[in-house]
Amino acid sequence: MKLRKKDIFFETLENMADTIVQAADYFAQHLSDLSDLELFAGEMKKYESLCDTYTHTIIKELNKTFITPLERDDIMALTTSMDDVIDGLDSSATRFYMYNMTETDEYISQFAEILRQSAYEIQKAVHLLSQKKLLAIREHTIRLNDLENQGDEVLRHCTKALFEQVKDPIELIKRKELYERLETTTDKCEDVANMLESIIMRNS
């Protein structure tokens, strides 16, 4: 029996989601050893570039495909929101390199874990989308919203601690910008959840 070829859009979105997981895993796992910041930032840039390639594939296929499995705007919006997540992870890693930050802290580790969990929720949801199991996706969008709320909470705590404990103004600026960049990336994960919710609503 011949297996049916997977739709190019779903396949590419799955590849993108899988790459986000790989990037979030790499980011979280390598915070414990930031002795080679150039390597750390460089590896994250490779994941970001790979997702750019997937985005270009989606755009190219949208331009030449007459019938798509979802609304064109929905496919493009989901692709863009997922690309924003990988961009956020990449730009966070880049800041370690630019600011020569070789030490992490408990708050950065908490953000990294929230982003790692969010990446897995995105991956599960996108694979369910490919299987047309739309209502099952909602469990993962709810979880993504919860994780974003956790990110908000971490930002509140770390900003308060930062201004209480850090006296060096340069170090304060560097940490504050990194915290905010990480929290913004949790927002981008929630944007993926919101886009998936729109797709569920329009296709159920």
pLDDT of residue 3: 44
184: containing domain: 8-203
Render pLDDT for 61-83 as a digit per residue (tens, 0 to 9): 999 988 999 999 999 999 999 99
Q: Does the residue 70 lie in any domain?
A: yes
Q: Are 92 and 31 in contact (CB under 8 A)?
A: no
Question: Does 150 map to a domain?
Answer: yes
Residue 121 lies in a domain: yes
The answer to the question of residue 104 being in a domain is: yes
| Selection from 202, 89, 195 nearest residue 140 by Cα | 195
Residue whose structure tokens are 């993504």:
144
What's the predicted TM-score (pTM) here? 0.95
- Residue 44 included in any domain: yes
- What was the pLDDT predicted at 204? 78
In-domain check, residue 163: yes
Q: What is the pLDDT of residue 6?
A: 74
pLDDT at 77: 97
Whether residue 124 contacts residue 183, with contact meaning beta carbons closer than 8 Å, is answered with no
Domain-located, residue 2: no
103 three-state secondary structure: coil
Query: 95-112: b or e for each residue (b if 16 or more CB lie within 10 Å)?
Result: bbbebebeebeebbebbb
The whole-number pLDDT of residue 4 equals: 52
Q: What is the pLDDT along the chain (204 residues), one digit of tens a residue?
A: 444 567 999 999 999 999 999 999 999 999 999 999 999 999 999 999 999 999 999 999 999 988 999 999 999 999 999 999 999 999 999 999 999 999 999 999 999 999 999 999 999 999 999 998 999 999 999 999 999 999 999 999 999 999 999 999 999 999 999 999 999 999 999 999 999 999 999 987
Can you give the CATH number for the domain in which 92 is found? Answer: 1.20.58.220
Predicted pLDDT of residue 1? 43
Query: Is residue 29 in a domain?
Result: yes
User: Into how many domains does the chain fold?
Assistant: 1
The answer to whether the CB of 137 falls within 8 A of the CB of 193 is: no
Q: So what's the pLDDT on residue 2?
A: 43
